[in-house]
Amino acid sequence: MPWNDESGSGKKGPWGAGGGGGKNDSPWNRPGGNGSGGGGGGGGRGDLEEQMRRMQERFRMRGGRGGRGSGGGRGRGFGPFGFIAAGLVALLAWFSTGIVIVDEGQQAAIFRFGQWQDNRQPGFHIHWPVPIETHTLLPVEEQKRIDIGLNNDESLMLTGDANIVSMKFTVFWKIKTDQPENLVINVQDPETTVKAVAESVMREVVGKSELEPIITDARNDVQQEVEDQTQRLLDFYQAGVDILEIQIQASEVPGPVMPDFIDVVNAAQDAAANINNAQRFANQQVPEARGEAERILNEARAYRETRVATARGEAERFSQLLREYRVAPEVTRERIFLETMEAVLGRSEKIILDSDSNTLPLLQLDQLGAVARRQQER
């Protein structure tokens, strides 16, 4: 057995030769993993694990009992120094569970008996060994993505106007840097949680919107609203997740209903064109009608002013004539008669007959005026 090797003089301990000057096979005096010699060289966590592995192999080979060597001598048992060495190795292995090396872009959440204590920044740190304290490394700077809508169960959603839309979008997220321990405390499966929350919020936003804006010019608004609501919901549950961005990869009508949707879109476009034509016609006719109405009103106002002014002038003329009549009735009466006859006869056709002429009484005198007018027009 390895512990019963009697080469060399003197008795040996479980790790090799005693004081006889032979080679010491103790694991503590072997050179380290970097190839340097000398007692006590090496060290580090990897060397410690290698030494424990070798010691376990020695225990299995020896079987935990003494035996006879090749020379017939009685084998040595596991002495007190062996127990001390094994205890030291076990103690060092236990204390090594309290060593944590935090890389850049990571934080280490320290838990004491399951209760969070603090977070350690990048570097070398020591805490109480397991099971008193444990640690969890959290990649707080690592950006992760989740694609949603890769199958019909996830992509098909109902809009506010009772239409079906196929939504495919991506969620970019990472662990919060200010409270990363919430991810370990409150969330069992972060990726499933983020996916479920984002899909639920997307269905809610789509359910409040109409189909046409979602598939045309309102995609950015939908993305921003879903991102804000998802972040608020995760913060409410203290999930320790930071939503970086939500990108809609595709928002379209499902294939089976695409022809009907095209017909609806064409009908809507025709309706919009007809409305625009009617609006253009109204824009032409209404101003013209308003202008005509304004012209008629202006003419009416002018006629009213003219009639009022004429009536006032006639009244004033009559008042003046009355004053003249009171001063000279005969003269005024004669003047009024002459002016009246002038006004009446001046607008009528007149035929003057000399009493001495031999005009036939059957002559159609009423047509002489018309004949004279036609001659003047020629």
pTM of the prediction?
Answer: 0.50
Return the H-helix or E-strand segment holding 122: none
Mean pLDDT, all residues of the chain: 77
The mean pLDDT value for 314-340 works out to 87
Q: How far apart are CA 246 and CA 252, in angstroms?
A: 17
Tell me how far apart the 2 most distant CA atoms of the chain are, in Å: 198
Question: Who's near 167: CB < 8 A, 6+ residues apart?
Answer: 149, 155, 157, 202, 206, 248, 250, 251
Task: Find the range with the poorest average confidence among 56-65, 172-181, 294-303.
Answer: 56-65
CATH numbers and ranges of domains, the chain: 2-68+75-96 (no CATH), 101-138 (no CATH), 144-253 (3.30.479.30)
Q: How far apart are CA 158 and CA 156, in angstroms?
A: 7
The burial of 255, by beta-carbon neighbours within 10 Å (0-12 exposed, 13-18 middle, 19 or more buried), is given as exposed
Q: How far apart are CA 286 and CA 70, in angstroms?
A: 124
Task: Find the range with the poorest average confidence among 85-89, 292-296, 299-303.
Answer: 85-89
Task: Tell me the CA distances in angstroms from 328 to 109, 212, 332, 333, 335, one per residue in order.
Answer: 129, 94, 6, 9, 11
- pLDDT tens-digit map of 171-226: 999 999 888 888 888 888 999 999 999 999 999 999 999 888 888 888 899 999 99
pLDDT at 20: 40
**Residue 353 binned pLDDT confidence (cut-offs 50, 70, 90):** low
Q: Is the pLDDT of residue 17 over 50?
A: no
- pLDDT tens-digit map of 29-52: 444 333 333 333 344 445 556 766
The mean pLDDT value for 66-82 works out to 52
Residue type, 5: D
